[in-house]
Chains A and B, each alone.
Chain A
Amino acid sequence: ETGVTQTPRHLVMGMTNKKSLKCEQHLGHNAMYWYKQSAKKPLELMFVYSLEERVENNSVPSRFSPECPNSSHLFLHLHTLQPEDSALYLCASSQDLGGTQYFGPGTRLLVL
């Protein structure tokens, strides 16, 4: 596989469930990102990792928990979500923090 991949592509979960989103990049990049995009709204940067260290956390509720075990993988752990968390969750990677970001296809999340 090439580029940035995300799994699952679609996810439906109840408010009491725990699930995880996975992102993998095959580009040899050093920075990875999680974005949230609600319907017809702009991108919202959630988390940034550089060289496996979290460098930015934009006031995201604690029910979202990121994990970056190595430079190629990024996870977003979800627990006790709210219906307003339903959105498209996008992962991206770049060579460095200010470089071109390449996005994955996204995970469409629906919280019931």
Chain B
Amino acid sequence: EDQVTQSPEALRLQEGESSSLNCSYTVSGLRGLFWYRQDPGKGPEFLFTLYSAGEEKEKERLKATLTKKESFLHITAPKPEDSATYLCAVSLNSGNTPLVFGKGTRLSVIA
């Protein structure tokens, strides 16, 4: 069964304290891995897509990396406005199934 597991479930950081969120996946064939940010009561906002091991993408204080088994979302010197739930999802090689989402990591950045 295709699975996506995110850890930790929740993370509390001080402003400026860098850290990483993990997304591990067990799928039959990976077409792409996606990161989203979701603020409370709002729809998820697309951040990145990664397609192959070794690929990296950056946006402001966020950097996403991909290996054959997992992806990391690195947050450098976070600010309170980075507080949100970060969702990971995978797309399968079959191409005819919707994304499989993880349960998310709730990030709180304290000033």
Contacts and interface: CB of A to CB of B under 8 A. Distances in A.
Nearest to A41: B103
Interface residues of B, number: 25
22 contacts: A4-B43, A33-B98, A42-B101, A42-B103, A43-B87, A45-B98, A48-B98, A94-B99, A96-B95, A97-B95, A97-B96, A97-B97, A97-B98, A98-B95, A101-B34, A101-B46, A101-B98, A103-B36, A103-B43, A103-B44, A103-B45, A108-B41
A109 interface: no
Interface in B19-66: 31-32, 34, 36, 41-46, 49
Given A103-B45, A106-B41, A106-B43, A98 B91 contact: yes
Interface string A1-23: 00010000000000000000000
A98 B32 contact: yes
A88 interface: yes
A108 B40 CA distance: 11
Interface string B78-101: 000000000101011011111101
A88 B91 CA distance: 24
Nearest to A40: B106
A56 B98 CA distance: 9
Contacts of B32: 98, 100
Interface in A80-112: 88, 90, 92, 94, 96-106, 108
